[in-house]
Structure formats: structure tokens, C-alpha cells
Amino acid sequence: MQRFKWTKAHAVFIPEVDAEHRNLFHMAGELEAAVLANGDETRVQEALRALMAAVEDHFSYEERRMRSARYSSYAWHKQQHDTLRKRAGWFVPRVESGDRESALLLLEFLSGWLKDHTALADRMMGAYLRNYERQAARAAVPA
């Protein structure tokens, strides 16, 4: 199944953010593989923990970058992150208790959310940050 494959179509053109996205897609794919392998519960739990930790690191990173660049759509963007945090908060304990159905539903939700969020909110953030950094670099050059 290829639904967690990162491609250039997901690029936001901020190298650190793209690297993290690639990693998140990869880790979500690992969780999916573990769930579909149907058996090794430790593998599922480890993949889930690793993915959720990487998601939180990634959100914090983007939120820091947006705040330090005084991004005007910060609140809107963070609200989307918070939606995923909230959904994850509901799903994770269920998956941790061994509920396969919840694991599949979480994967379903994640695959849609990641695609939509990177395609719009993260892409808008990327365009803003690139422009902001270009202007900052220009301002730093002596006249």
C-alpha cells in the first residue's frame, strides 16, 4: 500500500520541513505495516510511540518557525495541528490497549490529514517562510 509514500508533490520547499514530512510518512507506513502484519503487538506499540513522538516534535518545530517569523496564519495553522493532537489523544489509548479497529481508523484519518495539511497549510507556511527569509537576508546586506 502506497498511501504513506512521500513524493515531490508533497514538497513545501523548506528542506528541514520536507525531511521531517518524509520521515513522518515513512513512520506512518511502518505503523501500517505493523498493524497489517497482524500479530506482533510490540511492533505495533513501538511504531505508534515513535510516530506520535515524531509528530509532536514536528508540530513544535513548525510552530516555533512560524512564531519566530511572525506568520499571520499561525493560529489557523496551529488549530489544524491541535485537531490532530486531539484525535490522536482519543485514538492512541485505544490502539495501546490492542484495539486493531482503532489502529486502522487512526491510519485512515492520518493518511487524509497528512495529505491535506501538507498540501495546503504547510505549503502556505513554506511560501511565507521562504519569502520572510529572503527579505531578512536582503535586509542584512549593507547598502
Site for Fe ion, rule CB under 5 A: 62, 122
Cβ nearer to Fe ion, comparing 30 with 122: 122
Q: How far is the CB of 141 from Fe ion (least distance, A)?
A: 31
Q: Can you tell me the distance from the alpha carbon of 76 to that of 122, in angstroms, rounded to the nearest whole number?
A: 11
**Exposure letters 88-98 (e unless 16+ CB within 10 A, then b):** beebbeebeee
Q: How far is the CB of 125 from Fe ion (least distance, A)?
A: 6
Alpha-helical runs (H) found in the chain: 15-37, 41-68, 74-96, 100-117, 123-140
Cβ nearer to Fe ion, comparing 100 with 115: 115
Cβ nearer to Fe ion, comparing 30 with 62: 62
3-state secondary structure of 98: coil
Q: How far is the CB of 46 from Fe ion (least distance, A)?
A: 23
